[in-house]
A and B are shown apart, each in its own frame.
Chain A
Amino acid sequence: MIQQKSVELSMSSSSRASGRALGIASVVMLAIALFLVFAVAPRAQVEAGGDVQRIFYFHLASALIGFGAWIVTAVAGIRYLRARDLKYDRLALASAEIGVVFIAMVLLSGMLWARPVWNTFWTWDFKLTLSALQFLMYVAYLMLRAGIDDPNRRARFAAVYGIAGALTVPLNFLVSRVLQSVHPAVYGPSVNATQQGGFGVPTEMNLILIFCLATFSVLYLYLVRARIALQERADALSARRAELLSQ
């Protein structure tokens, strides 16, 4: 018993240490990313917004990690449906919530970039509308979860919802490439490659973007771990409360 307790304690202290290391790495990388974006990145052409184009680095990194987070939610949902283990449900919840935060930042920063380039904060373009709908869909996912008390029933519903929701993620990447869209696609073949606000991406910009992607990945890992730890405590508390009330 004592041995088991000491193993648990050493595991939790090593987990806390790695969580702290991830937190410190996130802050340091975020500071370096900001320095690269504002002091090193070249100024883009006027059509892309000039200095305003510097929004691109965090906008795209946040979008890729945000959509990736919703894919993780779906994969965790599949794992839950197979194993019926609530640890996968906690991962799905954490990932969906962080995805909502990241995509909210993408939508808001996109609006701020659009104003000087398109002369409007918002337009009902297919890609923009789809992104807003996906955001609302995952807000609804979090609301659905909050409305179901039974943990297993909640996990089952959330898993199915998360899997269905993730099917729309590839659609978001496709629409600005195969349909006429005001949103430029700067990477890969697209019918909108020369769209207003579009720009070429030299090696320097690519390297900074890769660093920003790494920064947001580390941030995601740190936040996911923190959110899972929080949910574990919340679940333990609910179980304890139910146990006490049944006495």
Chain B
Amino acid sequence: MLFEGNLIYLVAAYVVFLGGLALYVISLAVRRRSIERDERALEQMAREIKDETSNT
């Protein structure tokens, strides 16, 4: 049959669907982690500013 050898395209398409969704979920997790890191750094900076102003 003409299409019997073409199952690779079917598999590849579903790898695209599942891989695309997985990559997007991972990108959300990576961005969330980066925001959490920035939040911690900012809180640290805020504490340092507070300490400096209380010392002066």
Number of interface residues of B (CB under 8 A): 28
B residues within 8 A CB of A115? 6, 9
- Docked-complex contact B42 and A230, CB < 8 angstroms: no
Main secondary structure of the interface of A (DSSP, over half): helix
How far is B32's CA from A240's CA once the two chains are assembled, in angstroms?
A: 17
How far is B1's CA from A115's CA once the two chains are assembled, in angstroms?
A: 16
The contact of A109 among B13, B21, B32, by CB within 8 Å, is: B13
**CB contact list, A188-222 vs B, under 8 A:** 219
How far is B18's CA from A4's CA once the two chains are assembled, in angstroms?
A: 41
List the one stretch of A45-53, A136-144, A161-169 in contact with chain B: A45-53
List of 10 A-B pairs having minimum Cβ-Cβ separation, nearest first: A116-B6, A50-B3, A109-B13, A112-B13, A55-B13, A105-B20, A112-B9, A108-B16, A101-B24, A58-B17
Which residue numbers of A lie inside 8 Å of B, CB to CB?
30, 34, 46, 49-52, 54-55, 58-59, 62, 98, 101, 104-105, 108-109, 112-113, 115-116, 219, 223, 226-227, 230, 233-234, 237, 240-241, 244, 247
